[in-house]
Amino acid sequence: MSEDITRITLSNGLLVLLKEIHTAPIISHWIWYRVGSRDEPCGKTGISHWIEHMLFKGTPRYPAAVLDKAISREGGVWNAMTYLDWTACFETLPAEKIELALSLEADRMVNCVFDPQEVEAERTVIISERQGNENEPLFRLGEEVQAAAFRVHPYHHEVIGDLVDLQTLTREDLYQHYRTYYVPNNAVLSIAGDFDTEEMLQRVREHYEGIPRGGDPPRLNRIEPPQQGERRVTVEGPDDTTYLLLAHHVPQCTHPDFIPLLILDSLLTGPSNLNLFGGGISNKTSRLYRALVEGDLAVSVYGGVGATVDPFLHMITCIVRPERSAEQVLQRIEEEIRRLQDAPPPLEEIQRAGKQARALFAYGSETISNQAFWMGFSEMFATYEWYLGILEKLAQVTPEDVQRVAQQYFLPRNRVVGVYLPQKVSLSQN
Amino acid sequence: MPSTSAALSSAPRNSLPGVDDITRVELSNGIVVLVRPNFNSPSVVLNGYLQVGSLFDPEEKLGLASFTADALLLGTRSFDFNTIYERLESVAASLSFDGGTHVTGFGGRSLAEDFDLLCTLLASALREPTFPADRVERKRAQVLTGLVLRSQDTAEMASLTFDEILFAHHPYRFPEEGTIETVQRIAVEDLIEFHRRHYGPRGMVVVVVGAIEPSQAVAMISKHLADWQNPEQPSPPELPPVRPLSETTRRNVFIPGKSQVDLVIGSFGPSRTAPEYLSAAIGNNILGQFGLMGRIGDAVREKAGLAYYAHSNLSSGIGPGSWTAAAGVAPENVQRAIEIICREIERFVQEKVSEEELHDSQANFIGRLPLSLETNMGVAQALANLERYGLGLNYYREYAERVRAVTREQVLETAQKYLDPNRLAIAIAGTLE
């Protein structure tokens, strides 16, 4: 993968990353803000995600209906996403139309109106989005497990926010949040595709450099204290299926142990892709698939670890077979973890995980949108250099490293066990 | 560091696939192979389909075609389950099968150096699956759990119920995955027999896109599949005609404990090969997709604030299609959402769309084509569609012209032909009040 990128910080603090790729007449433009649910105090949960929605309500220059149509008319795609640590908006367009993305993103960085009526209309839309999530048992279980895992740190709540806050947040709360965090000195612009770097840089300056720097965004420095013992949560619901969600506290991406933890995760539940756009492979040869699915304890098992600024969680999710219990599945997982703690895994297994990671990286950087994504995404929790070096670091992991992180992090006192218990209400039709 | 682009700029720019860069070869046993090289990334995508699907399912064993497809990789005469997945996963390759209504699809991906492995396993799974009993039982448990989850999924249940209403006298009313009762009836012998009778090379299509020379790709496919024969392979079954509803028909499915209700409203749509398909597709874009979910999104989400999602969808394949609007709303807003959507459907069949709406959607269709063809997977799906619907190898090159030829009158005529506001199917699933 080419390391050939241009990296420049504008006078207002905006970090710009550019990468020329001439394989298709397409440009992908991403603006990343260092703000997410991690920056939300109690009472204002869900506010960053709500801002993301409001960014689509337009500005005096680009009213909502005009924005949508302008992108769609050019055959582009655009969307936005909010996560624990960041918010990103992207447009991928035919190369000759990229002016539109530059112009509208620079504009909505400062000129969103937050019309009170639109805020109210969006309130019901977001509550509806939350209700849609609540229809999924795994959302409800995940929300409780996360809350149990983080008593202090704002990773405590889901990105979508708590219903009570969605009902009470005001237009002023939203506008204040917008002006505080969505400023050039808290943003990264990543653009990849069919352009000339000098020319693109000039255009970026024209659009973005006039936006005034904001104050330094405040951070909630509420570090989660080490967990002192196992925590268990149960969620009941009117379904027929039992889920087990097992979460262990693990360090953040930039911590040296994160790399052996990626290998450990790969051995346990199969290789996962840090890229949100996924595209993984099956995990039928992973240790937990063999133990749980082949052992007729679970219908499926998957797992993964997130790329985050602060320490987050490694999660293992299982659908329990109807005739089995979550406790039986948990015991079997514990046996597999113990195997890794008792003896270092074979070197071949680690080398295999390395090859899998290389292939997933190749798949995950296939498109221009992916390339632009990775430049900005990696800057949200580490740096682009971290991303470029990850395969090499994975190749250096030893069996003893994997054993050590299994011993250090995969302990009962460091985990949350979440179980979704069905209440067996039968389906009826009228 | 300043950027230099010399290394990459010599690579060919992706133009739209066409007759001069798609290799199409028909093997003597009827398999059609389509290849388009792309050396911009080191991976290769393989996909395609066979002429076998749930239309062959006996009514008491619905889900048989789908189960058979799911079970092909459980073991073969040459490779057992562990060997198959050990080989695939060791090199981060993937391969899977999916049984549909008319066809069974397959898809896989690998690094270019591992492409022969994909071909080997594809051929082995198709030609010599063994359906080992213990693994079939484990697969059945997974399928049954999937069906239980489906029965509690509001969107899926609304969609299934919609098909039951609209296609009441047509095989499309049956779910491809079957039901809990019918899947429990399927024995290993049924899988073996279904495979023996229905799987064959005639009508099979294999598409290869990625870092491989066309001649090499064709040679590898031929090596593994050119001598495959099945004299018993049946022709695709005839479909009966659909019967229009006599009046708007509404059915509720109660699912306890859900915060949101999903609803599906609509009627028939054109098949993919119908002359009016493109008029319908563009009309549908205006009705419920363009921008933030078209007119329906604007009315239900933007103006009324009732739903996170509200859009329309045109589903067109070999047989009769369906044309639907769908939304997820709070239980107390169901009636209002239905009224708003029905009003938009009425307007859509009464008045021509505006010049501006038509031009916007035409520009959208033309402009987004290169983006949809950016990935190997996107190109592979596009090539499979060319073959499946007989569109011709130059379809994507001529696409802009075809799209621009659609008129406001055609959009209206097509809407009137398919969408009758007095004969709609309405399916609702959730914790209804």
**pLDDT tens digits for range B277-308:** 999 999 999 999 988 899 999 999 888 888 88
Question: Does position A336 have pLDDT exceeding 80, yes or no?
Answer: yes
**Within a domain: A222:** no
CB A346 within 8 A of CB B356: no
Alpha-carbon distance B147 to nearest alpha carbon in chain A (angstroms): 11
Nearest alpha-carbon partner for A409 in A223, A264, A238: A264
**Which pairs with CB-CB distance under 8 Å and at least 24 residues apart come from B244-247?**
B244/B268, B244/B420, B244/B423, B245/B165, B245/B166, B245/B423, B245/B424, B245/B425, B246/B423, B247/B422, B247/B423
- Give the pLDDT band (50/70/90) at residue A19: very high
Interface touch B367/A65, C-beta < 8 Å: no
Q: Per residue in B211-229, pLDDT tens?
A: 999 999 999 999 999 999 9
Count how many Cα atoms sit within 13 Å of the Cα of residue A346 in the half-sphere of its side chain. Answer: 4
Q: Return d(Cα A214, Cα A380) in angstroms, integer.
A: 19
User: Are both A137 and A237 inside the same structural domain?
Assistant: no
Written as six digits, the tokens of B64 are 């048989």
Whole-number pLDDT of residue B416: 98
Q: Which of B8, B259, B369 sits opposite A22 (nearest CB)?
A: B8
- The set of residues, in sequence order, having a beta carbon less than 8 Å from that of B51 and lying 6+ positions away, is B102, B103, B200, B202, B203, B204, B233, B236
Interface touch A22/B152, C-beta < 8 Å: no
User: Are both A168 and A252 inside the same structural domain?
Assistant: no
Judged by average pLDDT, the poorest of A70-74, B22-26, B268-272, B420-424 is A70-74
Contacts of A72 in chain B (CB under 8 A): 290-291, 360, 363-364
Q: Return d(Cα B366, Cα A372) in angstroms, integer.
A: 24
User: Residue B129 pairs with which residues in a beta bridge?
Assistant: B76
Instruction: Say how many domains are in chain A.
Output: 2
Interface touch B257/A4, C-beta < 8 Å: no
Interface touch A237/B255, C-beta < 8 Å: no
- Give the pLDDT band (50/70/90) at residue B27: very high
Interface touch A73/B302, C-beta < 8 Å: no
Residue with structure tokens 């506290």? Answer: A249
Q: Is B400 on the interface with A (CB under 8 A)?
A: no
Q: Per residue in B323-336, pLDDT tens?
A: 999 999 999 999 99
Written as six digits, the tokens of A329 are 């599945």
Mean pLDDT for the stretch of residues A324-343: 98
Whole-number pLDDT of residue A276: 53
Q: Per residue in A44-60, pLDDT tens?
A: 999 999 999 999 988 99
User: Are both A314 and A418 inside the same structural domain?
Assistant: yes
Question: Does position B59 have pLDDT exceeding 90, yes or no?
Answer: yes
Q: Return d(Cα A43, Cα A38) in angstroms, integer.
A: 13
- Those of residues 142-171 in B touching chain A at CB distance below 8 A are 142, 145, 148-149, 151-154
Q: Is A197 on the interface with B (CB under 8 A)?
A: yes
Give the structural domain span for A146: 6-208
Alpha helices in A182-228 (DSSP H): 197-208
Alpha-carbon distance A8 to nearest alpha carbon in chain B (angstroms): 9
Whole-number pLDDT of residue A279: 62
% of chain A exceeding 70 in pLDDT: 96
Question: Fold match between B17-225 and B249-430?
Answer: yes
Question: Does position B345 have pLDDT exceeding 70, yes or no?
Answer: yes
User: Are both A165 and A259 inside the same structural domain?
Assistant: no
Strand B249-254 relative to strand B425-430, pairing? parallel
How long is chain A? 430
**Within a domain: A162:** yes
Strand order in the sheet with B32-37: B23-26, B32-37, B205-210, B43-50, B104-111, B94-99
One-letter amino acid identity for B193? E
**Within a domain: A307:** yes
Q: Which of A22, A65, A357 sits opposite B13 (nearest CB)?
A: A22
**Within a domain: A239:** yes
Q: Return d(Cα B102, Cα B50) in angstroms, integer.
A: 9
Contacts of B110 in chain A (CB under 8 A): 359
SS3 A81: strand
Contacts of B153 in chain A (CB under 8 A): 135
Judged by average pLDDT, the poorest of A19-28, A208-217, B28-37 is A19-28
Q: Is B41 on the interface with A (CB under 8 A)?
A: yes
Q: Is A202 on the interface with B (CB under 8 A)?
A: no
- B249-430 sits in which CATH class? alpha beta
Q: Is B85 on the interface with A (CB under 8 A)?
A: yes
| DSSP code for A223 | P
- Give the pLDDT band (50/70/90) at residue A328: very high
Written as six digits, the tokens of B208 are 């290869």
- Those of residues 290-329 in B touching chain A at CB distance below 8 A are 290-292, 298, 301-309, 328-329
Q: Is A352 on the interface with B (CB under 8 A)?
A: yes
User: Are both A187 and A238 inside the same structural domain?
Assistant: no
- Those of residues 332-351 in A touching chain B at CB distance below 8 A are none
Interface touch A75/B8, C-beta < 8 Å: no
For B135, the enclosing helix (H) or strand (E) is: helix B133-151
In whole angstroms, how large is the CA radius of gyration of chain A?
A: 23
- Give the pLDDT band (50/70/90) at residue A86: very high
Written as six digits, the tokens of B359 are 């031009």
Q: Is B391 on the interface with A (CB under 8 A)?
A: no
Q: Which of B92, B138, B376 sits opposite A366 (nearest CB)?
A: B376
**At residue B429, what are phi and psi to the nearest 5 degrees?**
-135, 135
Mean pLDDT for the stretch of residues A166-188: 98
Domain boundary among A151, A174, A208: A208
Question: Does position A273 have pLDDT exceeding 80, yes or no?
Answer: no
% of chain A exceeding 90 in pLDDT: 81
User: Are both A173 and A256 inside the same structural domain?
Assistant: no
Question: Does position A97 have pLDDT exceeding 80, yes or no?
Answer: yes
Strand A415-422 relative to strand A231-237, pairing? parallel
Q: Per residue in A206-259, pLDDT tens?
A: 999 999 999 999 999 899 999 999 999 999 988 889 999 999 999 999 999 999
Max mean pLDDT range (B201-205, B257-261, B329-333): B201-205
Q: Return d(Cα B217, Cα B253) in angstroms, integer.
A: 49
Alpha helices in B289-407 (DSSP H): 290-297, 334-350, 355-372, 376-388, 395-404
Domain boundary among A149, A173, A208: A208
Contacts of B1 in chain A (CB under 8 A): 4-7
Q: Is B366 on the interface with A (CB under 8 A)?
A: yes
Q: Which of B1, B330, B375 sits opposite A131 (nearest CB)?
A: B330
Q: Return d(Cα B416, Cα B402) in angstroms, integer.
A: 21
CATH of B17-225, one of 3.40.50.2000, 3.30.830.10, 3.40.630.30, 1.10.260.40: 3.30.830.10
Interface touch B5/A358, C-beta < 8 Å: no
Mean pLDDT for the stretch of residues B381-395: 97
Chains A & B: contacts with CB separation below 8 Å: 226
Q: Is A273 on the interface with B (CB under 8 A)?
A: no
Written as six digits, the tokens of B50 are 């066979």
Residue of A nearest to B1 (CA): A6
- The set of residues, in sequence order, having a beta carbon less than 8 Å from that of B311 and lying 6+ positions away, is B288, B289, B293, B294, B296, B297, B325, B326, B327
- Give the pLDDT band (50/70/90) at residue B341: very high
Count how many Cα atoms sit within 13 Å of the Cα of residue B13 in the half-sphere of its side chain. Answer: 14
User: Are both A115 and A18 inside the same structural domain?
Assistant: yes
Interface touch B92/A6, C-beta < 8 Å: no
Q: Is B390 on the interface with A (CB under 8 A)?
A: no
- Give the pLDDT band (50/70/90) at residue A428: very low
SS3 B360: helix
**At residue A116, what are phi and psi to the nearest 5 degrees?**
-55, -40
% of chain B exceeding 70 in pLDDT: 97
Interface touch B151/A25, C-beta < 8 Å: no
**Within a domain: A226:** no
Burial zone of B4 (CB within 10 Å; 0-12 exposed, 13-18 middle, 19+ buried): exposed
Question: Does position A197 have pLDDT exceeding 90, yes or no?
Answer: yes
CATH for A257? 3.30.830.10
> How do the domains of chain B map onto residue ranges?
17-225, 249-430
- Give the pLDDT band (50/70/90) at residue A3: low
CB A303 within 8 A of CB A296: no
Interface touch A22/B255, C-beta < 8 Å: no
User: Residue B136 pairs with which residues in a beta bridge?
Assistant: none
CB B121 within 8 A of CB B56: no
Q: Per residue in A347-365, pLDDT tens?
A: 999 999 988 888 888 888 7
CB B200 within 8 A of CB B236: no
Q: Is A193 on the interface with B (CB under 8 A)?
A: no
User: Are both A143 and A68 inside the same structural domain?
Assistant: yes
**At residue B97, what are phi and psi to the nearest 5 degrees?**
-125, 150
Chain A contact probe: residue of B3, B13, B302 with most A CBs at under 10 A: B3
Whole-number pLDDT of residue B370: 85
Question: Does position B419 have pLDDT exceeding 90, yes or no?
Answer: yes
**At residue A173, what are phi and psi to the nearest 5 degrees?**
-55, -50
Mean pLDDT for the stretch of residues B51-69: 98
pLDDT mean across residues, chain B: 94
CB B178 within 8 A of CB B102: no
Contacts of A358 in chain B (CB under 8 A): 92
User: Are both A14 and A107 inside the same structural domain?
Assistant: yes
User: Are both A331 and A403 inside the same structural domain?
Assistant: yes
In whole angstroms, how large is the CA radius of gyration of chain B?
A: 23
Mean pLDDT for the stretch of residues B245-271: 96
Interface touch B305/A124, C-beta < 8 Å: yes
CB A87 within 8 A of CB A35: yes
User: Are both A272 and A407 inside the same structural domain?
Assistant: yes
User: Are both A55 and A203 inside the same structural domain?
Assistant: yes
Question: Does position B10 have pLDDT exceeding 80, yes or no?
Answer: no
